[in-house]
Structure 1
Amino acid sequence: MGIDVLGPLTIEGDQKALGRRDRVVVAALAVHPGEVVSAEQLADVLWGEQLPPSWPKVVQGCVVRLRKVLGTHAIETLPLGYRLVVPLDEIDAQRFDRAVVRARELLAADEPERAGVVLADALTLWRGRPLTELDGWDAARVETARPAA
């Protein structure tokens, strides 16, 4: 299972498998893998300040559909919200961050050629502007503006 956010969101390389709301929810969860994201935060990224009365059911519906695509245990429901619990290697942004850390280690070990190879491989993960589904959401703005690990 691959969740790619370094460009238009794709799951297993398929960009059209999910509706807009489902893409927004999985992207929001992928920004903080392993951390709880509240239903209110997900509603905020979906609608901003203009929440429809049915927003809790819509968020629940998105999670149900995402579990069908990602696997039933990929998203946990907790008292405070939802948590994406896929291996970090399944999220391209996480793989990129780990590659940057590895390249720095190689540079510190005076292995610039190997560091260059690791970074070149990491750059292939980028397919365009990251987290486009989350335009306007503060958490995504912070994530896209931060320097690489």
Structure 2
Amino acid sequence: MHLKLLDVVAVEDGDRVVSGADLGGRRARVILAVLALNEHAASSDTLARALWADDAPPTWPTALRGAVRALRTALAPVGGDGERVVATVPSGYCLAPGVTVDVTEAEAAVRRAEDLIAQRRFTAARDCAAPVAAVRGTALLPEEDAPWLSPYRVALDDLAVRALQVLAQAATALGDHPASLDAGPPPADGADDTAGFAPPPADEPLALLPPPQAVMVRQVQVRRVTPATRLAAEFLMPSPHQRAVTRQ
């Protein structure tokens, strides 16, 4: 059984899928997200805060049990009824053993890619990191505007930046980085690693990138500039020659 949290929340089992309105609406999506994002079981209080914030109804324990029961029923078409996806434990609820989650798999993919870089297996590292480089934090429950989601969205953005770093390192090692010929030596310890980093105006190079990559490059520029992220931005941005060819 596989749970997708990014973009459209869905539960899959082979070719069988339950998603969108078939899941049962907002409550179902939030419950699945809370259970998937928590390292441990989520208490009823935790689920209630995610569902209702400070406006829980007086009968919220009953409403919560009803929402969990409805979710389990909705998952019956993929064999997820009963406790096959949402399990009850003494401390609350958790995902059943064996349920995989796309967010967790993305984290594992980046760790694997970083290990492959260390092993100098650059092609494998590139292939492993590439899908995660396009991940956006805003893809996590995009219709939900709640403070509890913010740290998880930031963590996803950070994960995508790490994937971009792997892509840049792998591309440079494989000779696919057009700017590598012009790149000087890395800055000495303690030196200003932002010196000389002046990306072209955003309205020109970012327009030549697919939207997910453009978003991530902007995050690299604005949120953190280190030697590795600078290389990632340079790798993803078209070189002056490429921009000239594109304009022609």
TM-score > 0.5 by shorter chain? yes
Choose the corresponding residue for 1:29, options 27, 35, 40.
Answer: 35
CA pair 15-2 structure 1, distance change in 2 beyond 3 A: farther
Shift in Å, 1:92: 0.6
Query: Higher relative CO (CA 8 A, sep ≥ 6), structure 1 or 2?
Result: 1
Shift in Å, 1:65: 2.2
* Secondary structure of residue in 2 paired with 1:36: coil
- Could you tell me whether the CA contact under 8 Å between 1:45 and 1:137 is conserved in 2? no
The residue that corresponds to 1:54 in the other structure is 59
What's the RMSD between the two structures over aligned residues? 2.4
Which string of whole-angstrom CA distances, capped at 9 and with x for unpartnered residues, describes residues 124-148 of structure 1?
777961133553142x221221232
The percentage of counterpart residues that share the same residue type is 29
Which string of whole-angstrom CA distances, capped at 9 and with x for unpartnered residues, describes residues 29-52 of structure 1?
11125x111111111111111111
Matches within 5 A, 1:1-149: 1-12=1-12, 13=17, 14-18=19-23, 19-32=25-38, 35-68=40-73, 69=75, 70-73=80-83, 74-87=85-98, 90-123=100-133, 129-132=139-142, 134-138=144-148, 140-146=149-155, 147-148=158-159
Moved over 3 A (4+): 121-128
Shift in Å, 1:2: 2.2
What is the distance in 2 between the residues matched to 1:128 and 1:64? 28
Task: With the length of structure 2 as denominator, give the TM-score of the two structures.
Answer: 0.52
- Could you tell me whether the CA contact under 8 Å between 1:99 and 1:119 is conserved in 2? yes
**Larger-gyration structure (1/2):** 2
Task: With the length of structure 1 as denominator, give the TM-score of the two structures.
Answer: 0.83
Q: Which runs of 5+ in 1 are unaligned?
A: none
Shift in Å, 1:110: 0.6
What is the distance in 2 between the residues matched to 1:61 and 1:107? 48
Shift in Å, 1:76: 2.3
CA pair 126-137 structure 1, distance change in 2 beyond 3 A: closer
Moved more, 70-79 or 54-63: 70-79
How many residue pairs were aligned?
146
CA pair 92-126 structure 1, distance change in 2 beyond 3 A: farther
- Could you tell me whether the CA contact under 8 Å between 1:37 and 1:83 is conserved in 2? yes
What is the distance in 2 between the residues matched to 1:106 and 1:58? 47
